[in-house]
Amino acid sequence: MTDLAIAAYGLRKSYGDKTVLDGVDLAVPQGTVFSLLGPNGAGKTTVVKILSTLVAPDPGTGPIHIGGHDLAADPRSVRAAIGVTGQFSAVDGLITGEENMLLMADLHHLGKRERRRVSTELLERFDLTEAAKKPASTYSGGMKRRLDIAMTLVGNPRIIFLDEPTTGLDPRSRHTMWRIIRELVAEGATVFLTTQYLEEADELADRIAVLHDGRIAAQGTAEELKRIVPGGHVRLRFTDPAAYRSALAALRDAARDDEALALQLPSDGSQRELRAVLDRLDSAGIEADELTVHTPDLDDVFFALTDATTATSATTATTATHQTEETAR
């Protein structure tokens, strides 16, 4: 257990007769990023609130250890070990960024000189020195979010909960946030990240869990999760209708898209399967104008796990715009 920053067993929580968490197990090794994914209302924030001592879990919940401390027996030590930034920021808009930082330093009982040093250092690190003397209400969304994280880091927490840290941020601010998260982990912190952006989990997380219907529907590395959904295929596109027709005759098992003059053959995207497809094309004398490989992405996994009825259309939709599609010809 010692190398686990977060170990929680059988998390349960209901509000009235609504069961939000119905036995959730979580194990997060130190120095890693763990991402909890789930649709709106799945219970991600509830998990963060329980693990950060803000909300009590229901009776029947198993043991929870955060940073080696028993959450039920020693919540004070848990609070000392963690930092939390939620969807509702702790930033006070009426005072300056610097004043927000100093206030946080006071809450952590830092000495006079130390509070200045920590505040200046963190403002600089998060590129807020120039704006430090301006009221936080004048900050952009990205700046506010950076200030929020800077405030969280005042107490030098080893375990950091980030609840949807990039929701509503533009791509540049999002990338800045990703860099910050990577730096924190490189310094040895553990990050528990909730997000609705699958791309974000894919980018950052060592392990990902998908929360659905009060339980963990699946968990693993991004690669492991992608392997559990079907949908990988090779797509061949033709410009000449005659070539398309002869390909159609030779590859009877392929799914056809007559309008686009395209065929799709199932494939897991591995070198072996790709070679098999190319061999078939060669032996049938087929020369496609374009060959693209589609491997399932986290969107496919997410839709497949959280809503079976939308799985098919989601897979189709991502096929058209997929980022990991590689044009081979």
Ligand X SMILES: Nc1ncnc2c1ncn2[C@@H]1O[C@H](COP(=O)(O)OP(=O)(O)OP(=O)(O)O)[C@@H](O)[C@H]1O
Q: Does 215 engage in binding with ligand X (CB under 6 A)? A: no
Among 4, 38, 147, 219, binds ligand X (CB under 6 A): 38
Q: Is 320 exposed, middle or buried (0-12, 13-18, 19+ CB in 10 A)?
A: exposed
Stretch that binds ligand X, among 43-51, 76-84, 182-190, 232-240 (CB under 6 A): 43-51
- For the chain, how many residues are written? 329
Residue whose CB is less far from ligand X, 44 or 79: 44
Output the smallest distance, CB 222 to ligand X, in A.
20
Stretch that binds ligand X, among 22-30, 41-49, 141-149, 183-191 (CB under 6 A): 41-49
Q: Which of 203, 172, 202, 204 lies closest to 191, judged by CA?
A: 204
Q: What is the torsional sign of CA 99, 104, 109, 115?
A: negative
Q: Does 212 engage in binding with ligand X (CB under 6 A)? A: no
Output the smallest distance, CB 14 to ligand X, in A.
9
Output the smallest distance, CB 271 to ligand X, in A.
38
Nearby residues of 283 by Cβ (< 8 Å), 6 or more positions away: none
Among 15, 171, 242, 309, binds ligand X (CB under 6 A): 15
Instruction: Tell me the two tokens of residue 275.
Output: 């070679």
DSSP assignment of 207-220, as one string? EEEEEETTEEEEEE
Q: State the residue for tokens 């509070």.
A: 115
Stretch that binds ligand X, among 38-46, 108-116, 147-155, 220-228 (CB under 6 A): 38-46
Output the smallest distance, CB 149 to ligand X, in A.
18
What's the chain's Rg over C-alpha atoms?
Answer: 24
Q: Does 20 engage in binding with ligand X (CB under 6 A)? A: yes
Q: Does 43 engage in binding with ligand X (CB under 6 A)? A: yes
Report, in this order, helix, strand and coil percent for the chain, each rounded to 5: 40, 25, 35
**What is the distance between the alpha carbons of residues 98 and 40, in angstroms, rounded to a whole number?**
34
Q: Does 45 engage in binding with ligand X (CB under 6 A)? A: yes
Residue whose CB is less far from ligand X, 13 or 207: 13
Among 41, 168, 241, 285, binds ligand X (CB under 6 A): 41
Binding mask 167-196 for ligand X (x = CB under 6 A): -----------------------------x
| Spacing of C-alpha 224 from chain mean position | 15
Q: Which residues bind ligand X (CB under 6 A)?
A: 15, 20, 38, 40-46, 196
